[in-house]
Amino acid sequence: MAMVTGRIGGAPANLLHEEVLEPQFSYEVRHLLPHYLHIEKVLLLEYRRMGILAPEEAGGIASALHAITPEDLTADPEENLSDISFGIERLVAARSCAPAPRWHVDRSRNDAQACAQLMFGRERTLGIAEGLVACVDAAHRLAARHTEAPMPGYTHLQAAQVITPGFYLSALSDHLLHTLRRLLATYDHADLSPLGAGAMAGQELPWDRAAMAGHLGFAGPRTHALAAVASRAWMLELAAEAATFATGLNRFVSDLMTWAGSHYGLVELPDELAGISSAMPQKKNYPLLERIRGRTAHLLSWFVDVAAAQRGTPYSNTVEVGKEGGAQLDSATRTFASVLGLLTLVLDNAVFPAARGRELCAGEHLGGFSLANRLTLDAGVPWRTAQVIAGRYIVAMIAEGTPADPEALERVCAGAGHPVADAAGLLDGTLEPGAGLRRKRSLGSAHPDEVRAMLTGQGEELAVLAREWSARRRRAEASVAAVDGLLGLESRS
């Protein structure tokens, strides 16, 4: 076995290598290698600043690091204990022109591993944020086209009140913005570098942790050494936001799936986004919506997976928390991004047939609430009695198959002990869907003007959040070229 450790006398067992170490090594080469190399370069800057390494030593190591590609690294139980940090170290030592015996003095893998994983999580979170921005924009564009045309809104799966597709979609936009806003707070809470914390209790050399954090594109260092290497709260919080987003989105997509059914016909997607039945040629299915809703389940399970891996473990750097607990980070964040991409595709192509929405509204007697209000406010009928009258009147209209009948309303009112003088006036426009929309006066209502105002406010918030996310991406990405420049390396970007 290569001179990597003096404590263990043998290389990892074959089964351990095959089942655990090699898969972990390959995963980290595939996803974390650029971050490990960035971290090593930042450490070089500190070694050079502290005088631990001469400029020419640091320069030689930097050049060797800069030349490493994924193809250069292989999990080898004998050569590098199938560990990526040892793999990088051994490769640099083999390629350097002159030895640098003080390189990696006062160092631990713990903070570097925690840092690389966090940088990968940061990278994926930035991508998810961009997907959220695009999704909100798509929801806004679709909502803006549908602020006037009425459709039934449903409570308890029954037609309840008149709304518009734009009103409903503005609620979806609100959910997406809520996620984007909370994700920014989660990102900022996690945007602190573990590098320089060492194994758990700090380090013996005067590392400038604030400078290292800046070189890595973080807002600052995580100030407590133990918390820096032990905590994976950022992953738990990211998974929690994913689960909260998925739970809410599941409900919205359930509505779209229902409304797209032939019984409702309130939502349509083009043939390019539809599927067929192999046995029933009359059917046009929308499995895309089922895929979106199904994939939200993976985000819920991610949170359970992360929480279960952290619960009951010691508060220190552990493989259980750091590696097994992060095993789903790649797949879960890809699922999150996929859900957003597919949802954006739906929103960019969905159609809400206005005639069908109006037809369903007309057949559902959705003005009952308005009629009760007018009976109380215009005719002096007590509110609860007005509710009873409106309900009885609608039952009579359903039985007779007519949309409005002043004489029937007069009979019902008289039977309830509250005769009215102008039944026709009370019914005028009460059951008309468009008029029902415009009777709404409160903040956040389905009134077309109010929906447009909400969309305007949401658009303004989206612009602010998009700028905030762009600033964070610029800081993270600029750090790579900046560090390469400080080491005299040609930027790969």
What tens digit of pLDDT does each residue of 191-200 get?
A: 999 999 999 9
Whether residue 386 is found in the same domain as residue 459: no
The DSSP code for 491 is: P
Residues 150-203 pLDDT 10s: 999 999 989 889 999 999 999 999 999 999 999 999 999 999 999 999 999 999
User: Mapped to the 3 state alphabet, what secondary structure does 147-176 carry?
Assistant: CCCCEEEEECCEEEEEECHHHHHHHHHHHH
Q: Which residues contact 137 (CB under 8 A, 6 or more apart)?
A: 462
Closest CA to 82 of 34, 22, 30: 22
pTM: 0.93
Question: How many structural domains comprise the chain?
Answer: 3
CA distance 199 to 190: 19
Whether residue 330 is found in the same domain as residue 224: yes
Whether residue 188 is found in the same domain as residue 164: yes
Q: Give the range of the structural domain holding residue 200, as residue numbers without chain letter.
A: 110-354+454-479
Residues 361-395 pLDDT 10s: 888 888 888 999 999 999 999 999 999 999 999 99
Whether residue 26 is found in the same domain as residue 144: no
2 lies in some domain: no
Mean pLDDT, residues 61-71 taken together: 96
CA distance 36 to 16: 23
Whether residue 134 is found in the same domain as residue 168: yes
Whether residue 177 is found in the same domain as residue 294: yes
310 lies in some domain: yes
| Cross-strand partners of 153 | 161
Which tokens in the block code for residue 401? 């198959």
